[in-house]
Amino acid sequence: MKIVVLKFGGTSVGTVKKIKKVAEIIASYKRKNYKVMVVSSAMRGVTNELIKKSFEISDNFSVSEYDVLVSSGEQMACSLIAGRLIHNGYKSRSWLSWQIPIFTDGIHKNSRINQIRKKKIFEYLKEGGIPIITGFQGINNKGRITTIGRGGSDASAIMIAKFFNAEKCIIYTDVEGVYTTDPNKLKKAKKIKVISYEEMLEMASLGAKVMQPVSIQDARLNRIDIEVRSSFVKKSGTFITKRSNIINNKIVTGISFTQNDSKISLIGVKDKPGVAAAIFKPLSKNLINVDMVVQNISANGKETDLTFTIKTEDLSKTKKIIKENKSIRFRKLLLKKDVSKISVIGVGMISTPGVTFRMFQTLANKKINIQVISTSEIKISVLIDRKNTKKALVALHREFKLDKRK
C-alpha cells in the first residue's frame, strides 16, 4: 500500500478559502494513486483563543480539561477539510484521536505518542477513503484526551508515518521550506534543498520556527524523511533526512538567531563542588530553561564567576530565585537584557578546521564583541548585543557563502 501522510499547519487551514485549497492538494495525491492520510492543526489563532478562555475561567485551570479544550480546534479543522473533500466527490471523514485510537503517555499538555492502532484506518484506506486525523493529541491509559505540546501536529504526522510505514511525510506550511536564515531578516537567505536531521534539530532549537525540535527528534529517532513545503505555491521544498543521504555538504548549512535572551552573571561565587548544582536546581524546579553557561575560575582558585543565559520573560523570576537562594553566596549579581544568540550550523564543520576562527574574525572585523561562546559538534553559538544581530547575520551569511547557494 503506497501511503503518503500530509500535514497542514494552522496558516494552511486558516480560512475557508485556504481549506478549499488544501482539499485540492489532497486530491492531487489521490489522483497519483496514493493512499492519502491527512493530519491537520487547528485553524490559525483558534488554539490561542481557547487558551485565553481557559485563563478567563480560572488562573489554575485543570490540565486535563485544558487538553479537552484546546484539542477541539483540530476537530473543527478536520471536519471542514473532510466536508470539502466530500463536497468534491471524495470519500472522506474526520478521525479524532480517540476514535483510532492514538495512545500517549506522559503528563497532560506534554504527552508523547507511543502506540497507534492501525486496523480501522487500514480498512478505511482500502475502501478508498481519505482519513483526516486530528493532530496534536491522543488519549492516555485512562481514556482521557491528552495533547503533545504546541506544534505537536508535526509530531503526530511523523508518528503516523512511522506506524503506517508511509512512503512520504510532507509538512505543508506557509513557507517554501527551510532557509539558510530567516528570510524576513535577510533577503539574501536561500532555500535549503536537503538538510540533515541533526542540522535541522539545531536550527529549530536555536530559533528557526519552521518545525518544533521535538518533532525533528521524533523523525530522527524513527528515521522518517520529511519534506517541508508551502501550501500556497507549487515549488519543491526542503527535504529533511539522515546525514548519510546528503552528498557534498557545505561547511555551514544555516545560521539561526534568537532575540529574547538575557544574560545573568554571578560574580565571586565560592568555588567548591556542588555550587553550580545549587544555583541551577531551583531554576529547574521553576521550569526556567538555562541555555549557554560559562564559568571562569579566579587566579587564586577560591572564587568563580558564573554566567548563563535564559529567556527574557524569565528574568524577574530568576533574579528573585537567586537572591532568595540561601545555599549560595556571591559578591555581585549582573543582569543584562537585549542580547542575542547567533549560531552557525553545519555537519561540514566536523571535518573542516578553521570555522571557529572564521566566525570570530568576521565578527571582530565588524567590531562585534562576543560575550559568551557555546559549541557542539555541528554548531558554534555566540552571545552578542541584540543591536548587532542584523550586522552579524549579514557578515556571517556572506563569509560562509550562503548567499551563493543554488
**pLDDT reported for residue 370:** 96
Kindly state whether residue 392 falls inside one of the protein's structural domains.
yes
Kindly state whether residue 207 falls inside one of the protein's structural domains.
no
Quote the CA–CA distance of 367 and 396 in Å, as a whole number: 13
Average pLDDT, integer, range 171-186: 89
Q: Write out pLDDT tens, residues 68-98.
A: 999 999 999 999 999 999 999 999 999 999 9
CATH number at residue 342: 3.30.2130.10
Kindly state whether residue 65 falls inside one of the protein's structural domains.
yes
Average pLDDT, integer, range 44-71: 95
Total domains in the fold of the chain: 2
Q: Write out pLDDT tens, residues 112-159.
A: 999 999 999 999 999 999 999 999 999 999 999 999 987 789 999 999
Angle among Cα 384, 280, 315 to the nearest 5 degrees reads 50
**pLDDT reported for residue 194:** 92
Among 89, 83, 71, which residue's Cα sits nearest to residue 30?
A: 89
Query: What residues are paired with 170 via a beta bridge?
Result: 6, 227
Total-model pTM: 0.82
Say yes or no: 130 and 273 in one domain: no
CA 288 → CA 213, 284, 307, 317, 329, distances in Å?
A: 18, 6, 15, 9, 20
CATH number at residue 129: 3.40.1160.10
Quote the CA–CA distance of 335 and 337 in Å, as a whole number: 7
Contact criterion met (CB below 8 Å) for 344 and 376:
no
Question: How confident is the prediction for the chain on average, in pLDDT?
Answer: 92
Which of these three, 174, 193, 224, is where a domain ends? 174
Say yes or no: 386 and 261 in one domain: yes
Query: Strand, helix or coil at 97?
Result: helix
Contact criterion met (CB below 8 Å) for 8 and 231:
yes
Model confidence at 249, pLDDT cuts 50, 70, 90, reads low
**pLDDT reported for residue 155:** 93
Quote the cell numbers at residue 105: 503517555
Kindly state whether residue 390 falls inside one of the protein's structural domains.
yes
Say yes or no: 163 and 37 in one domain: yes
Given a cut of 60, is residue 406 above it in pLDDT? Answer: no
Quote the CA–CA distance of 82 and 256 in Å, as a whole number: 37
Say yes or no: 38 and 154 in one domain: yes
**pLDDT reported for residue 62:** 96
**pLDDT reported for residue 208:** 66
Say yes or no: 21 and 166 in one domain: yes
Query: What residues are paired with 179 via a beta bridge?
Result: 191
CA 344 → CA 12, 239, 310, 358, distances in Å?
A: 30, 20, 20, 11
Kindly state whether residue 224 falls inside one of the protein's structural domains.
no
Q: Write out pLDDT tens, residues 205-219.
A: 766 667 888 889 889
Backbone angles phi, psi at 94, to 5 degrees: -80, 145
Kindly state whether residue 189 falls inside one of the protein's structural domains.
no
> Is the peptide bond preceding residue 101 cis, with omega within 30 degrees of 0?
yes
Model confidence at 299, pLDDT cuts 50, 70, 90, reads low
Kindly state whether residue 96 falls inside one of the protein's structural domains.
yes
Given a cut of 90, is residue 399 above it in pLDDT? Answer: yes
Average pLDDT, integer, range 284-310: 87
Which of these three, 124, 158, 174, is where a domain ends? 174
Query: What residues are paired with 296 via a beta bridge?
Result: 305
Place of cell 529547574: 284
Range of the domain at 264: 257-404
Q: Write out pLDDT tens, residues 311-345.
A: 999 999 999 999 999 889 899 999 999 999 999 99
Model confidence at 382, pLDDT cuts 50, 70, 90, reads very high
Neighbours of 126 (CB within 10 A): 10
Amino acid at position 358, single letter: R
Neighbours of 123 (CB within 10 A): 10
Q: Write out pLDDT tens, residues 186-202.
A: 888 899 999 999 999 88
Put the strands of the sheet holding 92-95 in their side by side order: 92-95, 130-134, 35-40, 3-8, 168-173, 226-230, 238-241, 194-196
Which of these three, 118, 148, 174, is where a domain ends? 174
**pLDDT reported for residue 207:** 61
Kindly state whether residue 250 falls inside one of the protein's structural domains.
no
Say yes or no: 281 and 400 in one domain: yes
- DSSP code at position 211: S
**pLDDT reported for residue 248:** 62
Helix axes 197-205, 213-222, angle to 10 degrees: 160
Average pLDDT, integer, range 382-394: 95
